[in-house]
Amino acid sequence: MDKIFLHEVGMRDGLQVEQQIVPTEKKIEWIKELMQTGVDIIQIGSFVHPVKVPTMADTDELFRYFSKPENKKSDTVLSGLVLNEKGLDRGMDAGVEMFCMGVSASETHSKKNTGMTTDEALDRIIPMAKNALSAGKQVQVSVQSAFGCGFEGAIAKERVIYIVEKYLQNGILNISLADTAGHANPIQVEDMITSIYSINPEAKLSCHFHDTYGMGIANCFMAYKHGVKYFESAFAGLGGCPFTAKASGNVCTEDLVNMFNKFGLRKDIDLKKILEIAKEAEEFFARELPSKVLKVGILEH
Structure confidence by residue, pLDDT tens digits, 245-266: 454 689 999 999 999 999 999 9
pLDDT at 126 over 50: yes
Q: What is the pLDDT of residues 16-34, one digit of tens each?
A: 988 899 999 999 999 999 9
Q: Quick one: residue 227, left, alpha or beta (phi over 0 = left, psi -120 to 50 = alpha)?
A: left
Instruction: Single out the residue of 196, 195, 189 nearest to residue 174, CA to CA.
Output: 196
Strand spans (E) along 129-244: 138-144, 174-179, 204-209, 230-233
What is the pLDDT at residue 42? 98
Residue 100 falls in the annotated catalytic set: no
- The reported pTM is 0.95
What is the pLDDT at residue 206? 98
C-alpha angle with apex 249: 293 to 190, nearest 5 degrees? 85
Interval 59-86 mean pLDDT? 96
Indicate the burial class of 274 (C-beta count within 10 angstroms; 0-12, 13-18, 19 or more): buried
Q: What is the pLDDT of residues 178-202, one digit of tens each?
A: 999 899 999 999 999 999 999 999 9
Q: What is the pLDDT of residues 127-157, one digit of tens each?
A: 999 999 999 999 999 999 999 988 888 999 9
Give the pLDDT band (50/70/90) at residue 52.
confident
Tell me the sheet residues that pair with 104.
144
Instruction: Single out the residue of 98, 115, 113 nearest to residue 143, CA to CA.
Output: 113
**Cβ burial 96-113 (10 Å sphere, 16+ → b, else e):** bbbbbbbbbbbbbbbbbb
What is the pLDDT at residue 62? 98
What is the pLDDT at residue 245? 44
What is the pLDDT at residue 243? 47
What is the pLDDT at residue 142? 97
What whole-number distance in Å separates Cα of residue 110 and Cα of residue 270?
A: 37
What whole-number distance in Å separates Cα of residue 38 and Cα of residue 24?
A: 22
Q: What is the pLDDT of residues 96-119, one digit of tens each?
A: 999 999 999 999 888 887 888 999
Give the pLDDT band (50/70/90) at residue 239.
confident
5-296: CATH architecture = Alpha-Beta Barrel (3.20)
pLDDT at 74 over 90: yes
Domain residues of the chain, as ranges?
5-296
pLDDT at 240 over 70: no
Residue from 100, 149, 220, 241 carrying the catalytic annotation: 241
Count other Cβ atoms within 10 Å, centred on residue 73: 10
